[in-house]
A and B are shown apart, each in its own frame.
Chain A
Amino acid sequence: MVDAARQPLIEVKAYTEVEKVEGFVGNFKVTLREKAKYVRADRCNGCAACANACPVEVPNYFEMNLAPRKAAYVPMSQSVPLIYNIDMDACIHCYKCVEACGALEAIDFSMEDKVTEEDIGAIVVATGFGHFDPTPMTEYGYGRFPNVITAMEMERLNNSAGATHGLVIRPSDNNRPQKLAIINCVGSRDKRYNPSCSNFCCMYAIKNALLLKQMNPDMDISIYYIDIRTPSKGYEEFYDRAREAGIKFIQGRPAEITEDPDSHQLFIKSEDITLGRVIEHEYDLVMLNQAAVPQPDQDHMSSVLNVAQSPGGWFMEYHPKLRPIDSPTDGIFFAGACQGPKDIPASVAQGSAAASRASRILHSDTWQIEPTVAVVWSDRCVSGKGQACGICERACPYGAIDYTKGISAEVITAKCHGCGACVGECPHDAITQLHYTDAQVLAQIRTLLAVEPEKKILAFRCQWCSYGGADLAGTSHFEYSANERGLRVMCSARMDADLIYEAYRLGAGAILYSGCHPQDCHYITGQIVGAKRAARLEKMFARLGMSPGRFRTEWISAAEGDKYARVINEMQAALDAIPEDQLKAEIDRLKPEMEKKLTKLNEIPGVEEAMIQVDFIVKDLLNKAVPV
């Protein structure tokens, strides 16, 4: 902490929130809100005179609300930076702090939040984790029984700088506990709350038990556990030390804690797996080793940063094994527990790893980004012919389209992220996306639907989410119908209606229109563009008498492999449920309707030429499909 504050190249901005992140790798524009402290950083010397004079006491979050702080406060005496804050929600405006501060004149009630913008090349996200609140687990009585405390409360009780100066006491009577139980996996490995393991709590329980035992050799300490997990260096030895020190390990998840209302003594009823029976023991104090959970504002940060979340709410890395530090957005990296529960050594290592990943960019004068950007065919843009349009400009999430009526629209390359929303929306087919041109995607569609198209489920997927979901389905070996044929574009916004029409014109059995969940979109609002179009298409196909299930829209994250497999299997079942002759009649009826919508397809530059060549491939596929 102190090193960070001393390092001249680090500017510590505490009590500050990140409001907005715009831009792209090497060129982020970040909006920060420095909340008003009502104490001037350039004058405060951290002397505490204001806090000593302040008559208002409120609970201190840092002490897990076990100790008070003043309205003029620092969370702890070793705060970095050591600059006092006036908590305006608690302040009674008696101005005793102003008086106490005297000639320093550091206290300034006229201060306001300061909003600043910074140009940033790379971002390390290290927003950490939150603690599971055990109140909903009524069987453990947290909140009702004073002597049931959480692990974080124990940390503050057992800390010489804490509320009791390191004296562990029972909240009900301030007596020293002699018999203590620690319950592991409170809210973790529990399908009602968090199915996952919180990673470090086994070690954490052992640490607390050992510390207490060292200070109080006569204390009787039991740890209730499901499994003890000590996979890192020196951890198993640490566990051994605890057993040698006489700490009892009881394998079993306690079913219930009851309390004697007079003495506030606690009784834990649990299975003891090693004994093979139910046990009940009395304790003076019980510590619930609560699960690590995502920060309460993790969803909010996820949308500010435009990064997706894994199941459980943690930030989702680009690849779980090969790129564990990278976010899917180039130039944004994860460190520590925001990506999943981690202990201190792992968090420190990830901090260094993230710094290393970021410094590759920050040591470069220029950085390369993919050229899969949009390009306008100016001779096709109606604006250039004097018509009002601007649809592309409205579709673009980045303001990357320069549109003025009377002049052909133009893509500002630096701002274009390559989602293809403008391409999908342009009603005049005047925009293309490099590497995902209409000719290229149509070639894939025609090939995939060359043979027995009525049996195929053509799945349009976005690069970042539903393609990843399909990958995860495979990685997890979730089986789904092999009639699925996948097609990748960068964003659901690129899934042009023409592409869907063409697939049905060719007689596709079913089409999945899939992308990310709205809050996960890699392109801010690309999914919204895609979702609106999908809703329009859905209505239209229903009007044209299409059987339900033949056109389906689904938002599937890269973490939802199970969902991807389920959706495809449901689509297969829906397709199977349509009688063969009915399906054929539907397809035949739809074909002329689709042809009407595609009369101008061949005018798109390159498409006619490409389709002549694709027909050779299609013919070859049909020949090969004929049984010998």
Chain B
Amino acid sequence: MNEEVSKPKYVGAMPEDEPRIGVYVCHCGSNIAGVIPPAEVVDFAGSLPGVVHAAETMYACADSGQRLIKEDIKKHGLNRVVVSACSVRMHEPTFRACVAEAGLNPFLMEMANIREQCTWAHGHDREGALEKAKDLTAAAVAKASFLTPLDMINVPVTKKALVIGGGVAGISAALDLAEQKIPVTLVEKQPTIGGVMAQLNKTFPTMDCSI
């Protein structure tokens, strides 16, 4: 198994290039801009060491927002990107793909969560929210300064599925997989598959039989 997995390339502790960071502060409509003025975060971030360009954007994740980032990477020769917007759980993959399309390694992008973890939680304290948004952006800039390019690791795939539970959902999943020529092991803890559905007498709203 190990031989087939690509190793991470040796990575130096420090990046080899001087950071040229672009910072994008998202309004997210009024989700962020309704609590703090993004322009102030842009002014603040624009002069941070390593930052060569900072801009606000209505929706960073929208086509127009992504296009702006991609164009700026070329126009300003950006080698790091900071997106101050929402949660990494929401859009980290989006912005990684965005910078990759502009030729940047996807791991040279860092996000600051100024929505879920700032404006949405601190609507009662706008001044505090603004200070926090600046700090989170600065911290993302600081981390971005030391980001190094990384390559995704390729792992082999065993072309077989396990479905746990032989109720209606599991049966449906198993059939769909098998019809795509994927072998499936369907595991059921009871002596028969069928789950709760098999116990039912007719089903709504069409009153057809359950088995």
Contacts and interface: CB of A to CB of B under 8 A. Distances in A.
Interface string A443-481: 110111011000000000001000110111111011111
Given A1-B193, A338-B165, A414-B1, A617 B176 contact: no
Contact of A474 (B118, B139, B184): B118
Interface string A49-87: 000000000000110100000000111101111010100
- Counting contact residues on chain B (CB < 8 A from A), the size range is 35 or more
A482 B128 contact: yes
Contacts of A3: 171, 175
B129 A74 contact: no
A10 B174 contact: yes
B50 to A, nearest CB: 8
Contacts of B178: 7-10
A348 interface: yes
A499 interface: no
Which of A443, A606, A609 lies at the interface centre, i.e. has the most chain B CB atoms within 10 A of its CB?
A443
Interface in A1-58: 1, 3-5, 7-18, 24-28, 30, 32, 37
A13 B187 contact: yes
B182 to A, nearest CB: 5
A244 interface: no
Contact of B171 (A127, A351, A358, A450): A351
A152 B161 CA distance: 32
A355 B176 CA distance: 6
B196 A128 contact: yes
A373 B173 CA distance: 32
Nearest to A358: B161
Contacts, number: 433
B211 A18 contact: no
Contact of B164 (A37, A123, A368, A414): A123
B135 A206 contact: no
A118 B185 contact: yes
Contact of A121 (B1, B161, B179): B161
A28 B162 contact: yes
Interface string A226-263: 00000000110110000000000000000000000000
A80 B192 contact: yes
A211 B202 contact: yes
Given A127-B165, A375-B8, A367 B176 contact: no
B161 to A, nearest CB: 5
Contacts of A347: 167-169, 172
A10 B175 contact: yes
Given A440-B143, A447-B138, A477-B121, A363 B193 contact: no
7 contacts: A9-B182, A362-B160, A368-B153, A370-B153, A371-B153, A434-B8, A473-B116
Given A448-B136, A482-B128, A617-B48, 12 more contacts: A10-B184, A32-B185, A64-B199, A80-B194, A128-B195, A355-B161, A363-B182, A470-B116, A471-B113, A474-B115, A474-B119, A614-B142
